[in-house]
Every structure is written in structure tokens, then in C-alpha cells.
Structure 1
Amino acid sequence: MINKVQIKVRGYHLDIFQHVNNARYLEFLEEGRWEFFEDFGVGTDMMAQGIAWVVVNININFKKEANFGDVLEVQTAFSKLGNRSISMQQNIVNSKTLALVAKAQVTYVCFSQARKEAVALPEEYRHKIEEAIIGLNEPA
């Protein structure tokens, strides 16, 4: 499963050099992940059971600048499944030029809110995630 979200670059996303500030990419990526989890349909169920996804690592590689008015597509997919963790791959692509603007790898742990520790992913979610793991290809 690949989820795609479009974000238009606004003036408040820019830094003094008039391109998207690096901290804004974290927000764009997070928006992509929230949309992914909503569409995937496990976030609300897990939270009702006292289980949450907690980000433990984010690595971002910046490839090209994005500027005012650009429409960016945030692509999100599961890329790896561990016993207590999942990894997601995300690409940010300029919708007009199809250039890769940034790519990120995000790792989550399955976290019990009651126990305050990482726990094994429940089997029902494990199977659903295994079926959805495909990863992303970089645009040409």
C-alpha cells in the first residue's frame, strides 16, 4: 500500500533563503504518515487497546530544494516489519517536475501505554502490515 498526500508550499514554509526550511519537511512527512494510518485503518483500533506507534528514529536525505507554490507529493509505505517495530519509507516528490525532493526512513515501536514499554505487535496487525509492505521506488 502506498499512500499519497499533496501539500502546496506556502510562504510560512520558507526560510530566509526562500526555499522550504528543513524543519518543515518533518511536518510534511508527519502529515503523510497520519494520512497513511487513517487510510490503513489500524491507528484508532490500536489506540482503543492502549497501544500506540512511537517514533524512535527518522533519517531524512534532502535531494532538491522546494520553493513557494510548488506542489509536493508525500508518498508513504511500510518498508520493514520487526517483532516490536515497523519502518516506513517516505518520498517527497515535486508533482510538476517529478523530481525527488527528499526521502526518509522512519522507525516506530509498538508501545503499551499502560506498561510504558515497547511490546510485540498484536498478530492481527502483524498480518495486515505484512500484506502491505512494498516499499517505494525513487522517481526516475
Structure 2
Amino acid sequence: MDPRVTRTRLRVRGYHLDGYGHVNNARYLEFLEEGRWAYFDEHPDLASRLQQGDVAFVAVNLNIDYRQAAVAGDDIEILTRLSAVGGRSARMTQEIRRERDGVLVSSGTLTFVLLDLAANRAIAIEGELREYLAPLVLE
């Protein structure tokens, strides 16, 4: 697999389920967030830049497509990648797949900005940060 893609594995547990016996739609948000945390774990230089306290990674849009139901006992894999870097925003694309058969369970696209905390506004993605992000992009 491409090293620009982070793979995160989880087992669906009973507390993830709704009254119909499948993963509750809101839980997919948590699964995708877990995948993004793992992405930053695998890119510590990026994580450290965002933890300096002056800039924050801020989600501004999230779209999720639900395709198949995941149920208790399913082992799922969350695939996370940086898919675009623009002037002021960037996009991460994620997929949740059932491991036993590779079926796409859900997919999501998150658009984020880098927020200057002092000025409370999005900053341009440029310079050293852009140079770091550019090779990570996988459309």
C-alpha cells in the first residue's frame, strides 16, 4: 500500500450499535476521527507544527457516504490520506472497509483550514508547511 495512506484497524463493538443492530451513523464520525488521529501519529512533523499553540487544524466541512452496514464483530479498516492542498484549505479523504471482504462500508471527505489562533482567521498554506504537505497528497 502507498505510504501516504494511513491504515487504522478497529473492531466493531456492541456499544457502537444502534437499535437496529448496526453501527450508528454518528459512530462513523468517531471512526473517521480515529483515522485522522492515526494519520497525525504517522506524520509527527506535521503534528508537532500544529501543536505549537499558534495554529490549529480546524474542520470546516465533512461529508460522509454510508454504503453498507457494519455490525458487531466486524473488523474494519480506516484508510486516511491527504487528497488536496489549496491556498487556504486542504482536504482529507477517508474510507472505511470491512476487512474480511474489502467491502466499502463508508467514505468521507473532510475539508480543513489552518487557523491562526491569535487572529482567529484561516491562514494561507504556504512556505515550509506547504512544502511538507505537497508530497503527502494522493488524489
Partner residue of 1:46 out of 34, 47, 50: 50
Q: Does structure 2 conserve the Cα–Cα contact (< 8 Å) formed by 1:43 and 1:52?
A: no
Equivalent residue, structure 2, for 1:31:
34
Q: Does structure 1 conserve the Cα–Cα contact (< 8 Å) formed by 2:91 and 2:111?
A: yes
Does residue 3 of the first structure (1) align with residue 6 of the second (2)? yes
CA distance in 1: counterparts of 2:43 and 2:90, whole angstroms = 14
Equivalent residue, structure 1, for 2:16:
13
Q: Structure 2 matches for 1:68-107, cutoff 5 A?
A: 68-107=72-111
CA distance in 2: counterparts of 1:112 and 1:38, whole angstroms = 22
CA distance in 2: counterparts of 1:101 and 1:70, whole angstroms = 11
CA distance in 1: counterparts of 2:39 and 2:97, whole angstroms = 16
SS in 2 for 1:48: coil
Residue deviations 1:45-92, cap 9 Å, x none? 222151111000000001100000001100000111111111000000
Cα RMSD after superposing both structures: 1.0
Deviation at 1:122, TM superposition (A): 4.1
Aligned-pair identity in percent equals: 38
Equivalent residue, structure 2, for 1:62:
66
Consecutive unaligned residues in structure 2, runs of 5 or more = none
Q: Does structure 1 conserve the Cα–Cα contact (< 8 Å) formed by 2:77 and 2:96?
A: yes
> What TM-score results when the alignment is normalised by the length of structure 2?
0.93
Q: Does structure 1 conserve the Cα–Cα contact (< 8 Å) formed by 2:87 and 2:126?
A: no
Number of positions where the alignment pairs a residue of Structure 1 with one of Structure 2: 135
Does residue 112 of the first structure (1) align with residue 130 of the second (2)? no
Consecutive unaligned residues in structure 1, runs of 5 or more = 136-140
Partner residue of 1:130 out of 97, 117, 134: 134
Which amino acid counterpart does residue 11 of structure 1 have in structure 2?
G
